[in-house]
């Protein structure tokens, strides 16, 4: 009621001879509010603070309550549940002077309470519809819990698995990262902001955050403008085109200027080139960190630098709250800059419908009905099955027989808390299905479980029990990998092997002679050649979320034929990192017969598993590709086709991939570039002609003079199963 009365008053003011153009009710309300607000209240809208969570439930620091009452805080993050957000919203709309509603944000990365696979795992599904549905479920639950805003999707391109946050993105390929970014924005924002099953998306981390030197979190980023624009910028641009409401600045620098104070990134590129119209929020205390970065002498100067660059909201650092008024009075920032930032923030609140009804997302009955619903868990199970990648299956040990005697071993076999992964929002391990539970629910053949060892440490005292159990079994299933904290923010690693004694456990189990199925649970590509060599089968399960155990049982017993493919290259050793499929050829490309070529003395150039790789319980045969023409021009559509045949005895889904290579350019070009994928389902013996379309626009790049366009010449095209597979056909762009 209070907010509705306030809205009416604000609209009244907007008609009293104001020179502000009355273009829409949104503009009228926002501009009238600006005429009523004090400087402190405006800066309050630009201030984002956190709430906390204790054993007894959600809490807020008392000083922040008073900030809300006084209009010194316009948004909160980590505030969730319908009851808690209602309580906080009441402070804003019933006890503050202008009664402007709060905006509530949270890191809903791969689910709110029903946890889906980590984003890197979802990218391995190559199923955009399922990825969008995952974000849709996350948004539905988050909005039911009182949230308006998620700090997702993370669209940072990443080629270095030492960096822990690879788990939050779509992997190493730009084209695929763009498609995933678009799908996740659509999923979060649904049919439009203001619907009670939609939340505002926040694209992060802008920009180039996924390329820190040495893979170390918060590290310096150093790349050419050409490299940035061709590979790292497009996913952010795709998310903006998809309608993302907000953008988050990155912690790193770009071209020597930290992103949070980088006007080139935030204004010249983001707003003027990409056309972004929403608001920009910093990452946690990123303005404060401009001081240790060495580009500001103190926090007041840092706040001025951030505002001039294009930052609208300060997350947690309180720099704007403490210093921006003084900077205004000193003439170092302008009221117009502050008004522009506040206008952007208020417009999002308007579009969410918060001025009409500030409590519209605070419905405990809707929350109870939707959170962890059967429908949502079914969607999580489907997504998890599609995310699993079969990396090895020697002797057809998989799928398992339901009559086989199974030994279930490993520190992650009967674990729940780690399976929901890092950045698991309000998810709880107690709601997760473990691998052991999933196997027992599917088969009576489980003989028992032995941990064998912990995830970390050098204790092998559990080996004897595990080996004894393995010797009684027909097949041994061992679940190994990372703890959730080992991947994610501030989780860079210099080694990509299995931590602790897990690799030794795998070797000991392999020595029993029993067929060994290794189930990997991790947030990044691992360098584990010895494990792969000793196992009969290797299944990349990532962190699959709430329905992990059920999804794994579906795949391991063959109720679901695995179809996942790797969105990142798996190295043989950390010494190959960074390693990615679309590298340049160099002037001395690899030649096994010549030392004086680009190679290692102690290891092959090739990865353990290439980008796009994944097996099935059936097999697929590809014909050589054909094209509708051997030459084409701008404006033409070139059709590229190949026949794919299921040569096995099971129905299966194959992810068919299209790659191109520009043979000669004004600048060096990659050996392959992904340009399209199609998921097809084939019955045993069934064949299908798969056709892709290419135009001249698909072959554009940043040329020697930094203009964006194509160049005439020869191009090789592949239709194949992964990035190291297939024979090309050559065409000519005239």
Residues 458-510: tens digit of each pLDDT:
999 999 999 999 999 999 999 999 999 999 999 999 999 999 999 999 999 99
Work out the mean pLDDT of the chain and round it to a whole number.
96
* Whether 567 and 637 share a structural domain: no
* Whether 636 and 572 share a structural domain: no
The pLDDT of residue 56 is 82
Kindly report which listed range (6-15, 212-221, 222-231, 666-675) carries the lowest average pLDDT score.
6-15
Q: Which domain holds residue 450?
A: 368-576
Q: Mean pLDDT, to the nearest integer, of 713-733? A: 98
Residues 249-276: tens digit of each pLDDT:
999 999 999 999 999 999 999 999 999 9
Domain boundary among the residues 576, 598, 629 is at 576
Q: Does any domain span residue 287?
A: no
Stronger pLDDT, 46 or 17, i.e. the higher one: 46
The answer to whether the beta carbons of residues 542 and 118 sit under 8 Å apart is yes
* Whether 514 and 629 share a structural domain: no
* Whether 529 and 386 share a structural domain: yes
Catalytic positions are: 283
Q: Does any domain span residue 187?
A: no
Is residue 672 predicted with pLDDT exceeding 50? yes
Is residue 236 predicted with pLDDT exceeding 80? yes
Is residue 150 predicted with pLDDT exceeding 70? yes
Question: Binning pLDDT at 50, 70 and 90, where does residue 9 land?
Answer: very low
Question: Binning pLDDT at 50, 70 and 90, where does residue 23 land?
Answer: low
Q: Does any domain span residue 251?
A: no
Helix (H) or strand (E) holding 641: strand 637-646
- Count of domains for the chain: 2
* Whether 530 and 637 share a structural domain: no
* Whether 532 and 462 share a structural domain: yes
The pLDDT of residue 336 is 98
Is residue 213 predicted with pLDDT exceeding 80? yes
Residue 501's domain is classified under what CATH number?
3.40.50.1700
Question: Binning pLDDT at 50, 70 and 90, where does residue 13 land?
Answer: very low
Domain boundary among the residues 514, 543, 576 is at 576
Query: Percent of the chain at pLDDT above 90?
Result: 96
Question: Binning pLDDT at 50, 70 and 90, where does residue 82 land?
Answer: very high
Closest CA to 157 of 272, 239, 279: 239
Q: Does any domain span residue 325?
A: no
Q: Does any domain span residue 428?
A: yes
Burial 582-594 (b: 16+ CB within 10 A, else e): bbeeeeeeeeeee
Is residue 18 predicted with pLDDT exceeding 60? no
* Whether 691 and 626 share a structural domain: yes
pTM of the model: 0.96
* Whether 455 and 544 share a structural domain: yes
Measured between alpha carbons, how far is 524 from 573 in angstroms, rounded to an integer? Answer: 14
Q: Mean pLDDT, to the nearest integer, of 409-413? A: 98
Question: Binning pLDDT at 50, 70 and 90, where does residue 1 land?
Answer: very low
Q: Does any domain span residue 33?
A: no
The pLDDT of residue 262 is 98
The pLDDT of residue 658 is 98
The pLDDT of residue 339 is 98
* Whether 543 and 661 share a structural domain: no
* Whether 444 and 531 share a structural domain: yes
Give the torsion sign (CA, 111, 115, 116, 120).
Answer: positive
Burial class (CB in 10 A: 0-12, 13-18, 19+), 63: exposed
Question: Binning pLDDT at 50, 70 and 90, where does residue 11 land?
Answer: very low
Is residue 8 predicted with pLDDT exceeding 90? no
Is residue 146 predicted with pLDDT exceeding 50? yes
Residue 727's domain is classified under what CATH number?
2.60.40.10
Q: Does any domain span residue 31?
A: no
Domain boundary among the residues 576, 609, 643 is at 576
Is residue 563 predicted with pLDDT exceeding 80? yes
Question: Binning pLDDT at 50, 70 and 90, where does residue 16 land?
Answer: very low
Contacts 24+ apart (CB under 8 A), 194-198: 194/351, 194/352, 194/353, 196/143, 196/144, 196/360, 196/361, 196/363, 196/366, 197/136, 197/139, 197/140, 197/143, 197/144, 198/139, 198/143
* Whether 482 and 630 share a structural domain: no
* Whether 569 and 662 share a structural domain: no
Q: Does any domain span residue 687?
A: yes
């Amino acid at each position: 009621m209070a907010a509705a009365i306030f809205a009416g008053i604000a609209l009244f003011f907007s008609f009293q001879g104001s020179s502000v153009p009355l273009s829409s009710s949104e503009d009228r309300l926002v501009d009238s509010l600006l005429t009523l607000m004090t400087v402190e209240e405006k800066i309050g809208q630009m201030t984002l603070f956190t709430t906390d969570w204790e054993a007894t439930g959600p809490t807020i620091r008392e000083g922040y309550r008073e900030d809300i009452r006084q209009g010194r805080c316009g948004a909160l993050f980590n505030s969730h549940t319908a009851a808690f957000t209602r309580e906080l919203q009441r402070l804003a709309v019933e006890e503050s002077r202008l009664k402007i509603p709060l905006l509530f944000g949270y890191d809903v990365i791969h689910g709110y309470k029903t946890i889906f696979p980590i984003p890197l795992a979802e990218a391995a599904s190559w199923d955009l519809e399922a990825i969008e549905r995952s974000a849709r479920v996350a948004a539905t639950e988050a909005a039911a819990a009182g949230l308006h805003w998620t700090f997702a999707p993370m669209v940072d391109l990443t080629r270095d698995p030492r960096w822990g946050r690879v788990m939050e993105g779509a992997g190493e390929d730009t084209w695929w990262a763009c498609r995933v970014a678009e799908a996740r924005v659509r999923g979060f924002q649904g049919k439009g902001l203001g619907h009670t099953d939609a939340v505002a998306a926040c694209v992060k981390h802008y920009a180039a955050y996924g390329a820190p030197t040495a893979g170390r979190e918060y590290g310096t980023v150093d790349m050419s403008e050409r490299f940035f624009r061709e590979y790292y910028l497009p996913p952010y641009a795709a998310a903006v085109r998809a309608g993302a409401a907000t953008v988050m600045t990155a912690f790193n620098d770009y071209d020597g200027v930290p992103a949070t104070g980088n006007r080139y990134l935030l204004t010249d590129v983001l707003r003027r080139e990409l056309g972004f119209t929403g608001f920009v929020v910093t990452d946690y205390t990123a303005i404060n960190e401009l001081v240790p970065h060495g580009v500001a002498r103190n926090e007041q100067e840092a706040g001025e630098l951030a505002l001039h660059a294009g930052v609208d909201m300060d997350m947690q650092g309180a720099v704007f709250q403490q210093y921006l008024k003084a900077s205004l009075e000193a003439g170092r920032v302008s009221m117009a800059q502050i008004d522009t930032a506040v206008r952007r923030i208020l417009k999002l609140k308007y579009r969410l419908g918060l001025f009409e009804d500030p409590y519209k997302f605070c419905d405990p009955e809707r929350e109870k009905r939707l959170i962890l619903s059967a429908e949502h868990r079914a969607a999580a199970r489907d997504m998890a099955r599609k995310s699993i990648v079969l990396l090895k299956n020697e002797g057809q040990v998989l799928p398992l027989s339901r009559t086989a005697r199974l030994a279930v071993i490993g520190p992650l076999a009967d674990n729940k808390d780690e399976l929901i992964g890092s950045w698991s929002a309000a998810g709880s391990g107690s709601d997760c299905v473990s691998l052991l539970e999933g196997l027992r629910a599917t088969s009576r053949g489980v003989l028992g479980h032995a941990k064998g060892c912990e995830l970390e440490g050098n204790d092998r005292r559990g080996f004897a029990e595990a080996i004894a159990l393995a010797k009684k079994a027909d097949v041994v299933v061992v679940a190994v990998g990372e703890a959730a904290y080992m991947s994610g923010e501030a989780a860079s690693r210099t080694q990509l092997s299995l931590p602790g004694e897990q690799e030794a456990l795998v070797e000991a189990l392999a020595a029993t002679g029993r067929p060994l199925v290794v189930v990997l649970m991790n947030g990044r590509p691992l360098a584990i050649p010895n494990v792969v060599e000793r196992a009969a089968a290797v299944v990349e399960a990532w962190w699959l979320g709430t329905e992990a155990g059920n999804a794994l049982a579906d795949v391991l017993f063959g109720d679901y034929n695995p179809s996942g493919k790797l969105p990142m290259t798996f190295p043989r050793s950390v010494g190959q990192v960074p390693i990615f499929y679309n590298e340049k050829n160099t002037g001395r490309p690899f030649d096994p017969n010549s030392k004086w070529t680009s190679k290692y003395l102690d290891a092959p150039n090739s990865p353990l598993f290439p980008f796009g790789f994944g097996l099935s319980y059936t097999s697929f045969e590809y014909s050589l590709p054909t094209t509708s023409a051997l030459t084409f021009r701008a404006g033409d559509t070139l059709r590229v086709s190949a026949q794919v045949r299921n040569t096995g005895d099971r129905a299966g889904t194959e992810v068919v991939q299209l790659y191109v290579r520009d043979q000669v350019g004004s600048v060096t070009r990659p050996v392959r570039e992904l340009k399209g994928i199609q998921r097809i389902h084939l019955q045993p013996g069934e064949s299908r002609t798969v056709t892709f379309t290419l135009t001249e626009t698909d072959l554009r790049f940043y040329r020697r003079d930094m203009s964006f366009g194509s160049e005439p010449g020869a191009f090789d095209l592949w239709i194949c199963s992964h990035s190291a597979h297939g024979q090309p056909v050559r065409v000519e762009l005239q």
